[in-house]
């Protein structure tokens, strides 16, 4: 009987999520994939053709004749962009392909906005079409002194760290109050990023309004998850490890549902970047805005946890849930609030991420391990710890690029995670008994 | 009576005629809280020693420290002359000092007989390579199974032999845990609240088992709340309060100690035994 | 709709060497999780290390195939030790996070251009199977009947894969019925109790992590030999969680569970996919395209993982009393 109940509530959860998607898209799921602003190739390809394509633009003007070298799975071809700046390569089989922009083929005075990224991976293991982006900007191809490079990396690290902190606080609060390691947290971020794409890039709503809608959506996904999945499981007295594996299953379901609805290519959430120069650092308005929003949000969360009654109750539940319950705190209500807040914060992080780095169905899942690393580094279950951990991870990821190949920067942060566990398993700020 | 165990007057930290376990300066702090701070204590060989004290006196923590389940901030202790400080819990157990837990740790999803077999030491079949070749360990397996069946009979668990430990009652689990600990033929057995949560009918048989252990030459150290039980079976009583040893002696004498009387016979279970003792003197 | 071909496809999936690969990885995971209670979320890396070890041993170190196999297994054991030594003393979910992190690190290391000379980068490695194929004892003929007709090379891999499954399942059966297996099951129930009985719990956990990893590495070797190439993207976390799904389906603490679970899972997936494809082609399901049908496979994996863990953690054939998740 309790099984039937859980099953019903699971059904409700998926029905709710399905309804949400259906309402947002109006009709056919594949519509969203088709509506993406992809250039129409002059050659027509078969329905099942495997394509790598993209557009090379300098600000808003398409750039012709930029050469791209596509290799992988025994395939090797160089193509040049057409007059509209587009290129399309048909590849023979599924798999990952390396796309290199040949920097020498760029017109004079034009360079990559991120001069380090000359390679991109096009992943055609699951999807049939992959989009590859090389944003151009003013030529920054000058060898910078190490000090300036360091400044640039530190700035990027701060940016990424703040972003991760906003996303990681949700994980940390949920772990603190319920003990759950939520592997489906990344998908909440993906939802935030992809719906920013829908409302901002596709529908053209003002960004403030988009932020409100996306956060409300995130809050709702948090609420729905807790109401229809996690609370029933807590009532069944499911073990924490058991719930952790359930969250993995849930994450896979949501991820592939998003893939079906949105398609596999990277979505251009934000196509226009206004550059801002701060000494040696060239950044964008979106990055600066994102950092400001993150700082305000983090301060807000800190005030919420320390100054408000609900915030204090949240910390009491994290500290000792039975004791908190015995002093009259409604633990279930606090947990529900935590899920709602976590959902909204994570969706906001998704928006900020998408506005700077674009988004795909895998975005959240790729960040998930960085978030876990942040939370574990800081000490599981403390919000302050998560913030500190996230900043450390942000810096490690960006600074590692000074000494390591770029495609290893995520690996570097995960290595740091393993090393910290070796030396100080309770995390930088954690209390020792939490690991017992 | 006291003369047979202690050298001289029975006082906190007094020397014993034949100590099996000697602890010095064992101190354990949790943050600012001092949980255990034992200057010197000796446990007599071949006797039943009760460790008593109010809640939070640090008895279980002291147990954990002695058996390697927790690490002290400072302190040394020896068992049969061997230094145990810093030794892993499993090595302590191999030396013949076996403990049980306050909250029973019957391995619920193993059968009763499997629980028992797990208690035996020196099993070649527990090494990964030998385990693949049954002839190497099958004889030892028969030996320990026989030993286990004897113990199960003694503890009246033989009817439950093939049941999962999860299906036992709380008292039966306590019995199983004690029987399992005996599989290794320990020199010293440390029982953490063996009577807690055991129904009165079983209590009597548990007491008999503990006495039998002593007759077999095993040293027993146990933590207990119930003074009647302590008086009934123990040869020596050590009283702890606020992490320190505050009184020691044969049960009859310790019972007369004002501090102990106040703590146990009075209504104030949680009163500070240390300060009350000073007042009593 | 072509029912016959849907069933034939499902039947082929049942005996394919790739199915055997999943079985081997699931057998390894049953040693980790089912018997010892270790939360290993990096089984993909153990398989990948087997595959890469074999390929790198042959291509870079010019080893004969038997030495490359030993080299792969050795790397797998070292990997287990490196992960296990810092984390096996900590709470169970730390191992989970470290193993998943390590498996992603490994994938990044295999993908990076920096090591492409040895690893092949994102293209991976191929051309390492010559010695393996040369040793094929089956004459160059067609084997089987009707739609189940296989070339001698296919038969060769299939036979080796399933013989290895039988051997590994046999080893697990022997191990788990021995006193060693008893200690592992004791650790799964309560580490401290086992420690108090004088067993070196840490060493047992490390042994279990290594042994279970070796089975996965053997699986990884079959995988890469069968495809004649090894690529980093085959070994994402989805691979790991697919292993979890098949294991939990069959029953984590049983010898036959990993085998039966994998077989059932692949047949079910193949049938659903065949059915959906058929419906799409027949124009009944208009809102899905063919690649989307392929993506539905993963939704089913996630959904079955959730439902199994919630409603039947002991698996279809497991004894309800034998495996419960502990808090």
| C146-175 residue pLDDT tens | 888 899 999 999 999 999 999 999 999 999
What's the confidence (pLDDT) of residue A420? Answer: 77
User: Has residue B269 got a pLDDT over 50?
Assistant: no
Q: Which of B194, B170, B15 is closest to B108 using CA atoms? A: B170
Q: In terms of pLDDT, which residue wins out, A69 or B126?
A: B126
Helix and strand tally (H, E) in chain C? 14, 4
Q: Among A35-39, A142-146, B30-34, B131-135, which stretch is predicted with the lowest mean pLDDT?
A: A35-39
| A19-43 residue pLDDT tens | 776 666 654 444 444 333 333 333 4
What's the confidence (pLDDT) of residue C73? Answer: 98
Task: Report the first-to-last Cα separation within chain A, whole angstroms.
Answer: 36
If you average pLDDT over residues A159-188, what whole number do you get? Answer: 93
Report the sign of the C-alpha dihedral through residues C271, C272, C278, C282, in that order: positive
If you average pLDDT over residues A286-297, what whole number do you get? Answer: 94
Banded pLDDT at C144 (limits 50, 70, 90): confident
* Cβ atoms within 10 Å of C174's Cβ, excluding its own: 16
If you average pLDDT over residues B237-243, what whole number do you get? Answer: 88
A433–C contact, CB cutoff 8 A: no
What's the confidence (pLDDT) of residue A30? Answer: 42
Which residue in B91, B105, B110 is closest to C185 by CB distance? B110
Name chain B contacts of C174, Cβ cutoff 8 Å: 131-132, 134
What's the confidence (pLDDT) of residue A434? Answer: 36
Specify the 3-state DSSP secondary structure of A276. Answer: strand
State the nearest Cα–Cα gap between C133 and chain A, in angstroms: 21
* CA distance linking residue B188 with residue B235, whole number of Å: 15
Q: Among A23-37, B100-114, C99-113, C203-217, which stretch is predicted with the lowest mean pLDDT?
A: A23-37
- Secondary structure of A170-233 in HEC code, one letter for each residue: HHHHHHHHHCCCCCCHHHHHHHHHHHHHHHHHHCCCCHHHHHHHHHHHHHHHHHHHHHHHHHHH
- Which DSSP string corresponds to A130-170? EE----EEE---SPPPHHHHHHHHHHHHHHHHHHHHHHHHH
Residue B193: active-site member = yes
User: Has residue B271 got a pLDDT over 50?
Assistant: no
**Among residues of chain C, what percentage have pLDDT more than 70?**
96
| A351-410 residue pLDDT tens | 999 999 889 999 998 899 899 888 888 776 677 888 999 999 999 999 988 888 878 888
What's the confidence (pLDDT) of residue B112? Answer: 95
Banded pLDDT at C280 (limits 50, 70, 90): confident
**Contact between chains at C231 and A95 (C-beta distance less than 8 A):** yes
Q: Residues of B137-152 as b/e, b for ≥16 C-beta within 10 angstroms?
A: beebbeebeebbeebb
Which residue in A48, A97, A369 is closest to C101 by CB distance? A369
Banded pLDDT at B276 (limits 50, 70, 90): very low
| A260-279 residue pLDDT tens | 999 888 888 887 777 888 88
- Secondary structure of C198-255 in HEC code, one letter for each residue: CCCHHHHHHHHHHHHHHHHHHHHHHHHHHHCEECHHHHCHHHHHHHHHHHHHHCCCCC
Which residue in C233, C296, C309 is closest to A96 by CB distance? C233
What is the overall mean pLDDT for chain A? 83
- Which DSSP string corresponds to C43-101? HHHHHHHHHHHHHHHHHTS---HHHHHHHHHHHHHHHHHHHHHHHTTS-HHHHHHHHHH
If you average pLDDT over residues B118-122, what whole number do you get? Answer: 93
Name chain B's partners: 3 or more CB pairs within 8 A: C
Q: In terms of pLDDT, which residue wins out, C77 or C312?
A: C77
Report the sign of the C-alpha dihedral through residues A7, A10, A12, A15, in that order: negative
In the DSSP assignment, the letter for residue B266 is: S
ipTM (interface predicted TM): 0.88
Identify whether the C-beta of residue C25 lies closer than 8 Å to the C-beta of residue C244: no
What's the confidence (pLDDT) of residue C3? Answer: 83
**Contact between chains at C122 and A98 (C-beta distance less than 8 A):** yes
- Choosing from B42, B193, B242, B248, the catalytic residue is B193
Name chain C contacts of B105, Cβ cutoff 8 Å: 190, 192-193, 196
What's the confidence (pLDDT) of residue A33? Answer: 41
Task: Report the first-to-last Cα separation within chain B, whole angstroms.
Answer: 23
Chain A stretch 257-286, residues whose beta carbon is closer than 8 A to a beta carbon of chain C = 257, 259-260
User: Has residue B77 got a pLDDT over 50?
Assistant: yes
Banded pLDDT at B256 (limits 50, 70, 90): confident
What's the confidence (pLDDT) of residue B265? Answer: 52
What is the overall mean pLDDT for chain B? 86
């Amino acid at each position: 009987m309790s099984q039937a109940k859980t099953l019903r509530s699971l059904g409700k959860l998926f029905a709710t999520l399905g309804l949400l998607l259906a309402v947002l898209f109006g009709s056919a799921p594949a519509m969203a994939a088709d509506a993406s602003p992809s250039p129409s190739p002059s050659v027509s390809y078969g329905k099942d053709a495997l394509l790598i394509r993209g557009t090379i633009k300098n600000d808003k003007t398409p750039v012709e004749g930029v050469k791209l070298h596509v290799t992988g799975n025994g395939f090797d071809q160089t193509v040049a962009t057409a007059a509209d700046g587009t290129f399309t390569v048909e590849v023979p089989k599924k798999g990952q392909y390396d796309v290199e922009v040949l920097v020498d083929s760029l017109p004079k005075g034009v360079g990559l906005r991120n001069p380090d990224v000359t390679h991109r991976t096009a992943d055609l293991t699951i999807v049939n079409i992959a989009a590859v982006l090389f944003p151009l900007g003013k030529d920054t191809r000058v060898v910078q002194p190490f000090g300036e490079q360091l400044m640039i990396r530190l700035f990027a690290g701060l940016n990424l760290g703040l972003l991760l902190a906003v996303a990681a606080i949700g994980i940390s609060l949920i772990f603190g109050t319920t003990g759950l390691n939520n592997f489906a947290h990344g998908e909440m971020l993906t939802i935030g990023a992809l719906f920013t794409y829908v409302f901002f890039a596709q529908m053209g709503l003002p960004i403030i309004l988009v932020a409100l809608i996306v956060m409300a959506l995130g809050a709702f996904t948090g609420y729905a998850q807790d109401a229809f999945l996690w609370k029933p499981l807590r009532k069944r007295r499911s073990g924490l490890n058991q719930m952790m594996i359930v969250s993995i299953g849930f994450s896979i379901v949501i991820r592939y549902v998003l893939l079906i609805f949105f398609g596999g290519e990277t979505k251009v959430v934000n196509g226009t970047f206004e550059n801002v120069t701060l000494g040696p650092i060239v950044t964008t308005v979106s990055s600066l805005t994102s950092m400001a929003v993150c700082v305000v949000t983090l301060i807000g969360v800190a005030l919420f946890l320390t100054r408000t009654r609900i915030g204090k109750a949240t910390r009491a539940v994290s500290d000792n849930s039975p004791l908190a319950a015995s002093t009259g705190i409604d633990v279930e209500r606090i947990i529900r609030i935590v899920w709602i807040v976590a959902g909204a914060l994570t969706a906001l992080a998704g928006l900020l991420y998408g506005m700077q780095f674009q988004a795909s169905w895998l975005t959240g899942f790729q960040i998930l391990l960085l978030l876990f690393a942040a939370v574990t580094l800081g000490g599981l279950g403390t919000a302050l710890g998560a913030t500190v951990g996230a900043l450390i991870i942000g810096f490690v990821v960006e600074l590692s690029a000074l000494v390591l190949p770029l495609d290893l920067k995520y690996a570097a942060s995960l290595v740091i995670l393993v090393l910290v566990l070796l030396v100080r398993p309770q995390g930088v700020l954690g209390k020792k008994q939490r690991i017992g | 009576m006291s003369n047979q165990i202690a050298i001289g007057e029975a006082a906190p930290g007094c020397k014993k005629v034949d100590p099996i376990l000697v602890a010095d300066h064992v101190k354990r702090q949790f943050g600012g809280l001092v949980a255990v701070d034992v200057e010197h204590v000796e446990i007599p060989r071949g006797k039943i020693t009760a460790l008593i004290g109010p809640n939070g006196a640090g008895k279980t923590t002291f147990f954990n420290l002695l058996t390697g389940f927790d690490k002290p901030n400072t302190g040394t202790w020896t068992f049969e002359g061997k230094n145990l400080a810093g030794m892993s819990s499993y090595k302590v157990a191999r030396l013949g000092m076996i403990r049980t837990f306050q909250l029973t740790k019957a391995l619920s999803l193993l059968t009763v007989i499997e629980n028992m077999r797990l208690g035996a030491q020196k099993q070649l079949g527990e090494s990964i390579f030998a385990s693949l070749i049954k002839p190497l360990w099958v004889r030892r397996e028969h030996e320990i199974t026989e030993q286990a069946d004897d113990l199960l009979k003694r503890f009246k668990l033989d009817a439950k032999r093939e049941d999962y430990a999860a299906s036992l009652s709380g008292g039966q689990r306590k019995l199983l845990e004690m029987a399992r600990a005996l599989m290794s033929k320990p020199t010293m057995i440390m029982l953490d609240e063996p009577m807690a949560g055991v129904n009165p009918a079983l209590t009597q048989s548990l007491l008999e088992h503990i006495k039998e252990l002593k007759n077999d030459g095993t040293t027993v150290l146990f933590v207990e709340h119930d003074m009647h039980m302590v008086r009934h079976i123990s040869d020596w009583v050590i009283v702890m309060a606020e992490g320190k040893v505050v009184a020691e002696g044969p049960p009859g004498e310790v019972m007369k100690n004002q501090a102990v009387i106040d703590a146990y016979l009075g209504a104030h279970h949680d009163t500070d035994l240390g300060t009350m003792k000073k007042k009593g003197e | 709709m072509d029912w016959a071909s849907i069933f034939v496809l499902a039947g082929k999936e049942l005996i394919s060497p790739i199915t055997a690969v999943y079985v081997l990885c699931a057998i390894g995971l049953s040693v980790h999780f089912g018997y010892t209670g270790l939360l290993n979320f990096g089984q993909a890396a153990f398989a990948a290390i087997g595959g890469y070890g074999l390929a790198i041993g042959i291509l870079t170190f010019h080893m004969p195939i038997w030495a490359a196999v030993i080299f792969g297994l050795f790397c797998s054991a070292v990997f287990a030790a490196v992960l296990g030594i810092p984390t096996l003393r900590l709470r169970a979910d730390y191992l989970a996070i470290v193993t998943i992190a390590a498996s992603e690190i490994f994938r990044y290391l295999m993908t990076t251009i920096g090591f492409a000379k040895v690893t092949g980068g994102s293209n991976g490695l191929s051309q390492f199977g010559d010695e393996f194929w040369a040793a094929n004892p089956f004459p160059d003929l067609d084997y089987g009947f009707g739609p189940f007709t296989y070339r001698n090379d296919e038969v060769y891999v299939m036979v080796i894969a399933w013989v290895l499954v039988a051997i590994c399942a046999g080893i697990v059966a022997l191990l788990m019925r021995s006193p060693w297996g008893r200690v592992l099951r004791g650790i799964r129930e309560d580490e401290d109790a086992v420690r108090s009985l004088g067993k070196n719990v840490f060493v047992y956990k490390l042994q279990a992590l290594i042994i279970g990893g070796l089975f996965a590495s053997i699986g990884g070797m079959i995988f890469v030999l069968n495809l004649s190439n090894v690529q980093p993207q085959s070994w994402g976390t989805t691979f790991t969680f697919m292993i979890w799904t098949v294991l939990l389906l069959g029953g984590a603490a049983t010898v036959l569970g990993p085998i039966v679970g994998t077989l059932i899972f692949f047949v079910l997936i193949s049938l659903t996919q065949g059915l959906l494809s058929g419906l799409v082609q027949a124009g009944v399901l208009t809102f899905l395209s063919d690649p989307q049908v392929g993506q539905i496979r993963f939704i089913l994996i996630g959904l079955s993982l959730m439902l199994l863990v919630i409603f039947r953690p002991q698996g279809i054939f497991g004894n309800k009393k034998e495996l419960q998740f502990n808090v």
